[in-house]
Amino acid sequence: MKILVCMKQVPQKDAPLKLNEAGTWIREDLSYEVNEPDAYALEEALRQKEKHGGEVVVITAGPARAQQVLREALAKGADRAIHLEDNAFVALDAANTAGSFAAAIKDEKFDLIFTGLQSDDYGYAQTGVVLAELLGWPHATIIMQIEKTDGGIRVKRELEAGYFQFVDMPLPALLTIQSGINKLRYATLIGIKQAKNKPLRKIALAEVQSAIGVNMQKIERLYVPQKTKNTEFLEGPPAEVAKKLVEKLRNEVRVL
Amino acid sequence: MPDVILVILEQREGRLNRVSWETLTAGQALAAETGWTLEAAVAGHGVTNFANEVGGKKVARVYAVESPKLEPYTPDAFAAGLKQFIESKQPKLVLMPHTYQVRDFVAKLATAMGRTAISDCIGYKKDGDKLLFTRQMFQGKLAADVSFSCEAPWFVTLQNGAFRGDKVEAGAGAAPVETVKVEIADGTIRNKPQEVFKEAKQAVDLTQAEIIVSVGRGIKEQKNIELAKQLAEALGGELAASRPICDSGWLPMDRQIGSSGQTVAPKLYLALGISGAIQHLVGMKGARTIVAVNKDSEAPIFEIADYAVVGNLFDVVPPLIEEVKKARAGA
């Protein structure tokens, strides 16, 4: 199976975020890491390849710094990488990002495309699904298991509130992968060494420009959410606090 | 003709889910503010009863979007059926709940129509003629006001708990209900979904609970969970936890609240020893009333608490259980 994994570099989870002067984006002088669900998507692709053979290709869109995500993926076992390299990719909406990916892989024939189920920065949860639609492929989201079947694949979708569902799908197909679907591997020293010789194709913005339109949605303002609540602190010895709280639950919250 | 706001409610397993009503509440508020007409739709096979139920609310019209091919749910059928329906009605704004089902098809639907969806919104603002939709970014550390820069229809999905489902206004009379049959061509549906099932035997749906007592790292040891359980029982509520507690196996995963667990909006959420990491807050901040007990006065949970107790939960909870029992006994 030939599998493409779409990956994204996002600010590190604990990185303190500062707004730019216009208040429309963050200042980008911070630490980055791979978007967590994308790491699981890559791991799943590597496992599928180990089982069924084939090739794992990783793709990302972003400035030079984003290459780190591809290098790590190659070190973990991906066969080659595609880097849509330009600062402009950071500000694209999901439709344009997906359009860029579709343009970049137009001469390739993949059986499967994996993405993480959403990104930790924008959190659209859309890029994968849009890409499937642009390619005319079936898709399934929030996947927790993938098995090859005679006619295609059987995937396990996570639904709300502890429910799941198996879905049979033909190939090619696009899947968005849930964190926790597998256990992530670490890159080995040999893997890191080998990664240096693996192909990494760079694609400039101009090469996919025709697939990019005006963003259909626009961030007008980015800000730190304000505290909206008036918190009432209940004080005193525990027995007294308990009495006060029950009085609130009874008369204000009205649940008793 | 005035512009139309179309709310598409979600029915699963014989009922309309709560976040659908929340979305209708948002639609009513937006209609009041914009002067646009509010219409609603339920899609599926044999959904007239659901449409009638929605017709009891303050809406101008309800559509039952019907096709046998809409059952069971597949993204192919929903995107095809709703595209046909939306193209025939041409609403300005389409609101949907940000459920797992909607997030499975909304981007496909919007793309098929050459449009975009602003997903997982927690509110809206009217800025002159411009409608802005507020969504969380960077896992809730920042918020963004987002506008559409394309033609209608505009697709928006709303986060679970962002609006109050119990605030949905009833209509003066029953709204007209119209059945719209959509044609979904053979071969459209490529996925074959199997039966929906539950993994865990005693899986609980915390989204329906009115009272939730939730524990975090501050509970310290597995045996102390019992204390929280007693409080939950006294209150007649459900027991839940933050992710670290479930990762440790002290409570099953199906009791986890937060971005990777369930998102709830109960009447009362009582957080015991939960610091309030953003991944947890996104799952419960829609609660009507939040009570937090934590010994760290700087804990972020207090930022969103209505009632705060700075103290040791092991001192506070035992007398609280007694007081609750007394109150419930009518003392």
Following DSSP, what letter does each residue of B17-76 receive, concatenated? -HHHHHHHHHHHHHHHHH-PEEEEEEEESS-HHHHHHHHTBS-SEEEEEE-GGGSS--HH
pLDDT tens by residue, B223-240: 999 999 999 999 999 999
Regarding whether A236 and A191 lie in a shared domain, the answer is no
Average pLDDT over residues B274-285: 84
Distances (CA, A) of A228 to A49, B128, B297: 50, 23, 18
A216 contacts B309? CB cut-off 8 A: no
Regarding whether A232 and A161 lie in a shared domain, the answer is no
Decide if A221 is inside a domain.
Answer: no
Helix (H, G, I), strand (E, B) or coil at B262: strand
User: Which 8-state DSSP code applies to residue B256?
Assistant: B
Residues 37-56 of A with CB under 8 A from B: none
pLDDT of residue B303: 83
Decide if A216 is inside a domain.
Answer: no
Q: What is the CA radius of gyration of chain B?
A: 22
Decide if A127 is inside a domain.
Answer: yes
d(CA B43, CA B200): 29
Regarding whether A94 and A31 lie in a shared domain, the answer is yes
Number of domains in chain A: 2
Residue listed under structure tokens 């670290």: B244
Decide if A45 is inside a domain.
Answer: yes
d(CA B85, CA B125): 27
Chain B CB within 8 Å of residue A79 CB: no
The answer for residues whose C-beta is within 8 angstroms of residue B134's C-beta and 6 or more apart is: B121, B122, B123, B124, B125, B143, B144, B145, B146
Regarding whether A241 and A188 lie in a shared domain, the answer is no
B190 contacts A169? CB cut-off 8 A: yes
In chain A, which residues have their Cβ closer than 8 Å to the Cβ of B305? 229, 231
d(CA B98, CA B23): 9
H or E element at residue B132: strand B130-137
Decide if A220 is inside a domain.
Answer: no
Regarding whether A99 and A55 lie in a shared domain, the answer is yes
pLDDT of residue B53: 96
Q: What domain range is A239 assigned to?
A: 226-256
Would you say how long chain A is, in residues? 256
Which domains are assigned to chain B?
4-181 (3.40.50.620), 206-328 (3.40.50.1220)
- Residue ranges of E strands in B149-247: 154-158, 177-181, 192-198, 211-215, 238-241
Q: Is pLDDT above 80 for A174?
A: yes
Regarding whether A242 and A127 lie in a shared domain, the answer is no
CATH number at residue A158: 3.40.50.620
Regarding whether A190 and A249 lie in a shared domain, the answer is no
pLDDT tens by residue, B185-206: 999 999 999 999 877 655 678 9
Decide if A217 is inside a domain.
Answer: no
What are the φ/ψ torsions at residue B125 (nearest 5 degrees)? -140, 150
Instruction: Report pTM.
Output: 0.82
Regarding whether A240 and A182 lie in a shared domain, the answer is no
Regarding whether A135 and A194 lie in a shared domain, the answer is yes
Average pLDDT over residues A170-190: 92
pLDDT tens by residue, B130-184: 999 999 888 777 899 999 999 999 999 998 878 988 899 999 999 999 999 999 9
Tokens linked to B148: 């559409």
Q: What share of chain B is helix, strand, coil (3-state, %, to 5)?
A: 35, 30, 35
pLDDT tens by residue, A17-58: 899 999 999 998 899 999 989 999 999 999 999 999 999 999
pLDDT of residue B331: 56
Query: Which of B314, B279, B277, B278 is closest to B293 using CA atoms?
Result: B314
Decide if A237 is inside a domain.
Answer: yes
Residues 96-115 of B with CB under 8 A from A: 99-101, 103-108, 110-112, 115
Regarding whether A125 and A71 lie in a shared domain, the answer is yes
In chain A, which residues have their Cβ closer than 8 Å to the Cβ of B117? 126
Residue listed under structure tokens 């099953």: B252
Regarding whether A231 and A112 lie in a shared domain, the answer is no
Query: Is the dihedral angle over the CA atoms A28, A29, A35, A36 positive or is it negative?
Result: negative
Decide if A230 is inside a domain.
Answer: yes
Tokens linked to B182: 């959509």
In chain B, which residues have their Cβ closer than 8 Å to the Cβ of A235? 310
Beta-ladder partners of A164: A158, B197
pLDDT tens by residue, A100-149: 999 999 999 999 999 999 998 999 999 999 999 999 999 999 999 999 99
Helix (H, G, I), strand (E, B) or coil at A37: helix
Regarding whether A247 and A173 lie in a shared domain, the answer is no
Helix (H, G, I), strand (E, B) or coil at A41: helix
The answer for residues whose C-beta is within 8 angstroms of residue B181's C-beta and 6 or more apart is: B66, B67
